Amino acid sequence: MSTSTLIVVIAVAAVVVIVLVVALWMAARRRRLQNKFGPEYDRTVEVEGGRMAAERELRAREERHDKLEIKELPPERRDRYAVEWSTVQEHFVDRPEGSVEEADELVSRLMRERGYPTDDYRGQLRDLSVEHGRTLEHYRAAHDVKVRSAGHQTTTEELRGAMVHYRALFDDLLTEQRSR
């Protein structure tokens, strides 16, 4: 085999190895994002119009989230929130729409105390998606019902469903144990 043929074979083999390493690295990164964000990964792919754009967006969310000072609540604060949630649920029988509003306010207060910015709903979704991607659809559904209930466009069953959805995110925020 001539030297030039050997060089070509080695060069082609090196290119193939580099392409395989890059492909494996990208696949591992994609799997990590899919596992971390859960259903939010697919939703972001759809909204952003493709995997590459979605993955850029999700990594940007992670970077933003890393700058937040998210903290655990001491046990006595978690207990206090649990009592407040029970009170909100008790109000549902007499004031379903008011209870949904109270649940939203309680969840927002819990987010704020944990260190999440609560300035706007879209920002809340973005920031919560990093650690609570699996319960984010609950929050979207509950928020949708809350918005419609302001115009009295909801049924009692929809309001009950909103309470269940708020409860899912509330429990996730309240019981999360951070590993930092």
pLDDT tens digit sequence for 107-124? 999 999 999 999 889 999
The residues, ordered by sequence, that sit 6+ positions from 137 with a Cβ below 8 Å of its Cβ are 39
Integer-rounded Cα Rg, in Å, for the chain is: 23
Average pLDDT across the chain, whole number: 91
The residues, ordered by sequence, that sit 6+ positions from 176 with a Cβ below 8 Å of its Cβ are 72, 131, 132
Per-residue model confidence (pLDDT) at position 56: 93
Q: What digits encode the pLDDT tens for the residues 66-95?
A: 999 999 999 999 999 999 999 999 999 999
Q: What digits encode the pLDDT tens for the residues 25-49?
A: 888 888 989 988 988 999 999 999 9
| 3-state DSSP assignment of residue 1 | coil
Q: Is residue 178's pLDDT more than 50?
A: no
